[in-house]
Amino acid sequence: MDVFSSHRQETGLTLAPARAAVVVVDMINEFCKPGGKMVLPGYERLVGPQLAVIQEARKADVPVVWVHDVHRANVRQDREWLKRTPHGLENTWAIEIIEDLGARPDEIHVVKRRYSAFFGTDLDLTLKDLGVTQLIVFGVVTNICVRSTVHDAFFLGYEVAVPQDCCAATGEREQDSSLYDIATHFGTVTDAATLAETLAGGGGPIPAIEIAG
Protein backbone atom coordinates (compact mmCIF):
# COMPACT_ATOMS: atom_id res chain seq x y z
CA MET A 1 0.00 0.00 0.00
CA ASP A 2 1.25 3.47 -0.80
CA VAL A 3 2.39 5.68 2.09
CA PHE A 4 -0.56 8.06 1.88
CA SER A 5 -3.26 5.37 1.67
CA SER A 6 -1.71 3.43 4.55
CA HIS A 7 -3.13 6.04 6.92
CA ARG A 8 -6.51 4.35 7.03
CA GLN A 9 -8.97 3.40 9.74
CA GLU A 10 -10.13 -0.21 9.54
CA THR A 11 -13.60 0.27 11.01
CA GLY A 12 -15.15 -2.48 8.88
CA LEU A 13 -18.77 -2.87 7.86
CA THR A 14 -21.34 -4.93 9.73
CA LEU A 15 -24.16 -5.55 7.29
CA ALA A 16 -27.67 -5.06 8.70
CA PRO A 17 -30.30 -6.11 6.12
CA ALA A 18 -32.96 -3.90 7.73
CA ARG A 19 -30.80 -0.85 6.96
CA ALA A 20 -29.37 -1.95 3.59
CA ALA A 21 -30.16 -1.59 -0.10
CA VAL A 22 -28.62 -2.93 -3.30
CA VAL A 23 -27.87 -0.35 -5.99
CA VAL A 24 -27.31 -1.81 -9.46
CA VAL A 25 -25.63 0.76 -11.68
CA ASP A 26 -26.20 0.93 -15.45
CA MET A 27 -26.61 -2.74 -16.32
CA ILE A 28 -28.46 -1.59 -19.42
CA ASN A 29 -28.59 -2.81 -23.00
CA GLU A 30 -26.54 0.14 -24.25
CA PHE A 31 -23.50 -0.97 -22.26
CA CYS A 32 -23.94 -4.74 -22.35
CA LYS A 33 -25.80 -6.08 -25.37
CA PRO A 34 -24.89 -6.34 -29.06
CA GLY A 35 -26.32 -3.28 -30.76
CA GLY A 36 -25.50 -1.00 -27.86
CA LYS A 37 -23.43 2.08 -28.67
CA MET A 38 -20.86 1.56 -25.89
CA VAL A 39 -20.72 -2.15 -25.14
CA LEU A 40 -18.32 -3.30 -22.42
CA PRO A 41 -16.96 -6.72 -23.48
CA GLY A 42 -17.47 -9.59 -21.06
CA TYR A 43 -20.50 -8.32 -19.15
CA GLU A 44 -21.70 -11.95 -19.03
CA ARG A 45 -19.26 -12.84 -16.27
CA LEU A 46 -20.95 -10.34 -13.96
CA VAL A 47 -24.45 -11.79 -14.23
CA GLY A 48 -23.99 -14.85 -12.02
CA PRO A 49 -22.39 -13.01 -9.07
CA GLN A 50 -24.85 -10.13 -9.39
CA LEU A 51 -27.83 -12.47 -9.36
CA ALA A 52 -26.45 -14.24 -6.27
CA VAL A 53 -26.52 -10.95 -4.35
CA ILE A 54 -29.83 -9.75 -5.81
CA GLN A 55 -31.65 -12.99 -5.03
CA GLU A 56 -30.48 -13.09 -1.41
CA ALA A 57 -31.32 -9.40 -1.04
CA ARG A 58 -34.89 -10.05 -2.16
CA LYS A 59 -35.22 -12.96 0.27
CA ALA A 60 -33.99 -10.70 3.07
CA ASP A 61 -36.43 -7.92 2.09
CA VAL A 62 -33.53 -5.67 1.12
CA PRO A 63 -34.62 -3.12 -1.53
CA VAL A 64 -33.06 -3.46 -4.98
CA VAL A 65 -32.54 -0.18 -6.84
CA TRP A 66 -31.98 -0.25 -10.60
CA VAL A 67 -30.12 2.73 -12.01
CA HIS A 68 -30.61 3.64 -15.67
CA ASP A 69 -28.31 5.99 -17.57
CA VAL A 70 -30.80 8.02 -19.64
CA HIS A 71 -30.31 11.07 -21.85
CA ARG A 72 -32.65 13.38 -23.72
CA ALA A 73 -32.40 14.10 -27.41
CA ASN A 74 -32.09 17.65 -28.69
CA VAL A 75 -30.74 19.24 -25.52
CA ARG A 76 -28.28 22.04 -26.13
CA GLN A 77 -25.54 20.59 -23.96
CA ASP A 78 -25.45 17.16 -22.31
CA ARG A 79 -22.39 17.09 -20.07
CA GLU A 80 -21.71 13.39 -20.64
CA TRP A 81 -21.94 13.80 -24.39
CA LEU A 82 -19.18 16.39 -24.26
CA LYS A 83 -16.83 13.54 -23.32
CA ARG A 84 -18.61 10.40 -24.51
CA THR A 85 -20.38 9.16 -27.63
CA PRO A 86 -24.08 10.08 -27.46
CA HIS A 87 -25.84 7.16 -25.79
CA GLY A 88 -28.76 6.07 -23.65
CA LEU A 89 -31.57 7.92 -25.38
CA GLU A 90 -34.75 7.97 -23.30
CA ASN A 91 -37.69 5.82 -24.35
CA THR A 92 -35.48 3.38 -26.25
CA TRP A 93 -34.32 -0.22 -25.86
CA ALA A 94 -30.88 1.09 -24.96
CA ILE A 95 -31.78 2.24 -21.45
CA GLU A 96 -33.60 -0.92 -20.34
CA ILE A 97 -31.98 -3.20 -17.74
CA ILE A 98 -30.66 -6.36 -19.39
CA GLU A 99 -33.14 -9.23 -19.22
CA ASP A 100 -30.52 -11.52 -17.67
CA LEU A 101 -30.98 -9.84 -14.29
CA GLY A 102 -34.76 -10.04 -14.08
CA ALA A 103 -35.41 -6.51 -12.84
CA ARG A 104 -38.95 -6.16 -11.55
CA PRO A 105 -41.25 -3.23 -12.33
CA ASP A 106 -42.30 -3.05 -8.67
CA GLU A 107 -38.69 -2.48 -7.58
CA ILE A 108 -37.13 0.97 -7.47
CA HIS A 109 -35.90 2.40 -10.76
CA VAL A 110 -33.82 5.59 -10.83
CA VAL A 111 -33.02 7.60 -13.95
CA LYS A 112 -29.76 9.53 -13.99
CA ARG A 113 -28.21 11.90 -16.53
CA ARG A 114 -24.74 12.12 -15.03
CA TYR A 115 -22.24 9.49 -13.95
CA SER A 116 -23.31 9.39 -10.30
CA ALA A 117 -26.65 7.81 -9.40
CA PHE A 118 -27.08 10.52 -6.75
CA PHE A 119 -26.41 13.64 -8.82
CA GLY A 120 -29.67 15.37 -9.74
CA THR A 121 -31.81 12.35 -8.83
CA ASP A 122 -34.11 11.44 -5.94
CA LEU A 123 -32.01 8.42 -4.91
CA ASP A 124 -30.84 9.90 -1.61
CA LEU A 125 -34.38 10.96 -0.67
CA THR A 126 -35.74 7.53 -1.59
CA LEU A 127 -33.10 5.71 0.46
CA LYS A 128 -33.76 7.95 3.46
CA ASP A 129 -37.49 7.22 3.16
CA LEU A 130 -36.59 3.52 3.26
CA GLY A 131 -34.44 3.98 6.36
CA VAL A 132 -31.36 2.83 4.48
CA THR A 133 -27.87 3.68 5.72
CA GLN A 134 -25.85 0.92 4.04
CA LEU A 135 -25.42 0.28 0.33
CA ILE A 136 -24.20 -2.60 -1.76
CA VAL A 137 -23.17 -0.96 -5.04
CA PHE A 138 -22.14 -2.69 -8.26
CA GLY A 139 -22.53 -2.61 -12.05
CA VAL A 140 -20.71 -0.91 -14.90
CA VAL A 141 -18.37 0.65 -15.29
CA THR A 142 -16.28 0.51 -12.12
CA ASN A 143 -14.08 3.49 -12.88
CA ILE A 144 -16.82 5.84 -14.04
CA CYS A 145 -20.43 5.45 -12.90
CA VAL A 146 -19.91 2.91 -10.10
CA ARG A 147 -17.03 4.89 -8.66
CA SER A 148 -18.89 8.21 -8.92
CA THR A 149 -21.90 6.69 -7.16
CA VAL A 150 -19.74 5.24 -4.39
CA HIS A 151 -18.03 8.59 -3.86
CA ASP A 152 -21.34 10.41 -3.49
CA ALA A 153 -22.73 7.69 -1.22
CA PHE A 154 -19.73 8.16 1.07
CA PHE A 155 -20.08 11.93 0.99
CA LEU A 156 -23.76 11.57 1.96
CA GLY A 157 -22.96 9.38 4.95
CA TYR A 158 -23.74 5.87 3.70
CA GLU A 159 -21.64 2.82 4.50
CA VAL A 160 -20.76 1.18 1.21
CA ALA A 161 -19.79 -2.34 0.16
CA VAL A 162 -18.63 -3.09 -3.39
CA PRO A 163 -18.39 -6.73 -4.53
CA GLN A 164 -15.45 -6.77 -6.92
CA ASP A 165 -16.76 -9.65 -9.04
CA CYS A 166 -20.02 -7.79 -9.68
CA CYS A 167 -18.24 -4.85 -11.35
CA ALA A 168 -16.27 -4.34 -14.52
CA ALA A 169 -14.13 -1.42 -15.61
CA THR A 170 -12.85 -0.22 -18.96
CA GLY A 171 -9.64 -2.18 -18.36
CA GLU A 172 -7.72 -4.19 -15.78
CA ARG A 173 -5.67 -1.20 -14.67
CA GLU A 174 -8.80 0.89 -14.14
CA GLN A 175 -10.54 -1.93 -12.26
CA ASP A 176 -7.65 -2.43 -9.85
CA SER A 177 -7.05 1.28 -9.32
CA SER A 178 -10.71 2.09 -8.68
CA LEU A 179 -11.20 -0.80 -6.26
CA TYR A 180 -8.00 0.14 -4.46
CA ASP A 181 -9.18 3.72 -3.98
CA ILE A 182 -12.65 2.60 -2.89
CA ALA A 183 -11.13 0.19 -0.36
CA THR A 184 -8.72 2.75 1.08
CA HIS A 185 -10.93 5.84 1.09
CA PHE A 186 -14.65 5.23 0.50
CA GLY A 187 -15.93 1.79 1.47
CA THR A 188 -15.38 -1.94 1.78
CA VAL A 189 -14.42 -4.09 -1.19
CA THR A 190 -15.68 -7.66 -0.90
CA ASP A 191 -17.13 -10.34 -3.19
CA ALA A 192 -20.55 -11.64 -4.15
CA ALA A 193 -20.29 -14.93 -2.27
CA THR A 194 -19.51 -13.16 1.01
CA LEU A 195 -22.39 -10.74 0.60
CA ALA A 196 -24.87 -13.44 -0.43
CA GLU A 197 -23.89 -15.63 2.51
CA THR A 198 -24.12 -12.71 4.94
CA LEU A 199 -27.54 -11.67 3.64
CA ALA A 200 -28.77 -15.27 3.89
CA GLY A 201 -27.51 -15.43 7.47
CA GLY A 202 -29.33 -12.29 8.57
CA GLY A 203 -26.35 -9.96 8.46
CA GLY A 204 -22.97 -9.69 10.11
CA PRO A 205 -19.41 -8.45 9.58
CA ILE A 206 -18.14 -8.12 6.01
CA PRO A 207 -14.40 -8.81 5.85
CA ALA A 208 -12.60 -6.60 3.38
CA ILE A 209 -10.59 -8.00 0.50
CA GLU A 210 -7.06 -6.62 0.36
CA ILE A 211 -6.56 -4.76 -2.92
CA ALA A 212 -2.98 -4.31 -4.06
CA GLY A 213 -1.93 -0.72 -4.63
**HSE of 180 in the Cβ direction (CA atoms, 13 Å)?**
14
Count of domains in the chain?
1
- Answer yes or no: is 5 within a domain: no
Express each pLDDT in 170-209 by its tens digit.
999 999 999 999 999 999 999 999 999 999 999 999 988 8
pTM to 2 decimal places: 0.92
Express each pLDDT in 117-145 by its tens digit.
999 999 999 999 999 999 999 999 999 99
- Answer yes or no: is 46 within a domain: yes
How deeply is 129 buried, as exposed, middle or buried, from its count of CB atoms within 10 A (0-12, 13-18, 19+)?
exposed
Mean pLDDT of the chain: 92
CB 142 within 8 Å of CB 169? yes
- Answer yes or no: is 174 within a domain: yes
pLDDT recorded at residue 123? 98
Region 156-167 average pLDDT = 98
Which one-letter DSSP state was computed for residue 62?
A: -
Region 101-107 average pLDDT = 98
- Answer yes or no: is 180 within a domain: yes
List of E strands, the chain: 13-15, 20-25, 64-69, 108-112, 134-140, 159-163, 167-168, 188-190, 204-206
Distances (CA, A) of 28 to 22, 34, 93, 178: 16, 11, 9, 21
Give dist(CA 176, CA 148) in Å, integer.
16
Burial code of 177-186, b = ≥16 C-beta within 10 A, e = fewer?
A: bbbbbbbbeb
Give dist(CA 167, CA 174) in Å, integer.
11
- Answer yes or no: is 211 within a domain: no
- Answer yes or no: is 159 within a domain: yes
| Domain range for 95 | 16-206
pLDDT recorded at residue 81? 55
Q: What's the CATH code of the domain at 54?
A: 3.40.50.850
- Answer yes or no: is 9 within a domain: no
Give the distance, in angstroms, between the CA of residue 11 and the centroid of all CA atoms in the same chain: 22
Express each pLDDT in 47-82 by its tens digit.
999 999 999 999 999 999 999 999 888 776 766 655
- Answer yes or no: is 141 within a domain: yes
Which one-letter DSSP state was computed for residue 42?
A: T
